[in-house]
Amino acid sequence: MNTSDANNTPQCYSLKSPPFNYTRPISSAYFSTIFSTLGITSNLIAFIVLVKSFRRMRNRSRSFFLIFLAGLVVTDFMGLLVTGSIVVSFHFTRFNWRQVDPNCHFCNFMGMSMVFYGLCPLLLSATMAMERFCGINRPFARSTNMSKSRTVYMVLMVWLAAGCIALLPLIGIGSYHIQAPGSWCFFNISSKGSDMVFSLLFSFVGLTSIVVSFLLNTVSVVTLIKVCCGQDRTQRSRDHEVEMMVQLILIMIIASISWCPLLVFIAQTVFSSDPLWVRKLLLYLRFATCNQILDPWVYILFRRAVFKRVYPRFDWSRSSIMTLYPYFQETARRFTRSSLGGNLGSDETGETTKSNVTSPSTLKSPD
Q: Residue 316: inside a domain, yes or no?
A: no
Alpha helices in 58-138 (DSSP H): 60-93, 97-100, 105-137
CA distances, 192 to each of 4, 86, 87, 207, 251 (Å): 24, 29, 28, 21, 34
How far, in Å, CA of 267 to CA of 199, rounded? 7
Of the spans 30-34, 160-164, 345-349, which averages the highest pLDDT? 160-164
* C-alpha neighbours within 13 Å on the C-beta side of residue 126: 16
Amino acid at 350: G
How far, in Å, CA of 200 to CA of 266, rounded? 8
Q: Residue 129: inside a domain, yes or no?
A: yes
Q: Is the dihedral of CA 41, 62, 252, 167 positive or negative?
A: positive
Read off the CATH number of the domain in which 60 is found.
1.20.1070.10
Map residue 257 onto helix, strand or coil. Answer: helix
Contact 205, 119 (CB under 8 A): yes
Work out the angle at residue 125's Cα, subtended by the Cα atoms of residues 120 and 128, and round it to the nearest 5 degrees. Answer: 120
Does residue 256 carry a pLDDT above 90? yes
Number of domains in the chain: 1
List, for residues 34-55, the tens digit of each pLDDT value.
888 999 999 999 999 888 887 7
Residues contacting 258, CB < 8 A, separation 6+ = 287, 288, 289, 290, 291, 294
How far, in Å, CA of 27 to CA of 108, rounded? 21
User: Using only C-alpha atoms, what is the Rg of the chain?
Assistant: 26
Residue 143: predicted pLDDT: 54
Domain membership of residue 156 as a residue range: 24-310
List, for residues 311-343, the tens digit of each pLDDT value.
665 554 545 444 444 444 555 455 445 544 444
Q: Residue 167: inside a domain, yes or no?
A: yes
Residue 232: predicted pLDDT: 46
Q: Residue 242: inside a domain, yes or no?
A: yes
Burial class (CB in 10 A: 0-12, 13-18, 19+), 347: middle
List, for residues 198-253, the tens digit of each pLDDT value.
999 999 999 999 999 999 999 988 887 777 665 444 344 566 677 788 888 999 99
Question: Which of 153-178 are b and which e, b meaning 16 or more Cβ less than 10 Å from the residue's Cβ?
Answer: ebbeebbebbeebbebbeeebbbbbb
Q: Residue 248: inside a domain, yes or no?
A: yes
Contact 123, 166 (CB under 8 A): no
Q: Which of 261, 262, 253 is nearest to 294 (CA)?
A: 253
pLDDT bucket at 357, cuts 50 / 70 / 90: very low
Q: pTM of the prediction?
A: 0.79
Q: Residue 33: inside a domain, yes or no?
A: yes
Q: Residue 323: inside a domain, yes or no?
A: no
List, for residues 282-301, the tens digit of each pLDDT value.
889 988 989 999 988 888 88
Q: Residue 354: inside a domain, yes or no?
A: no
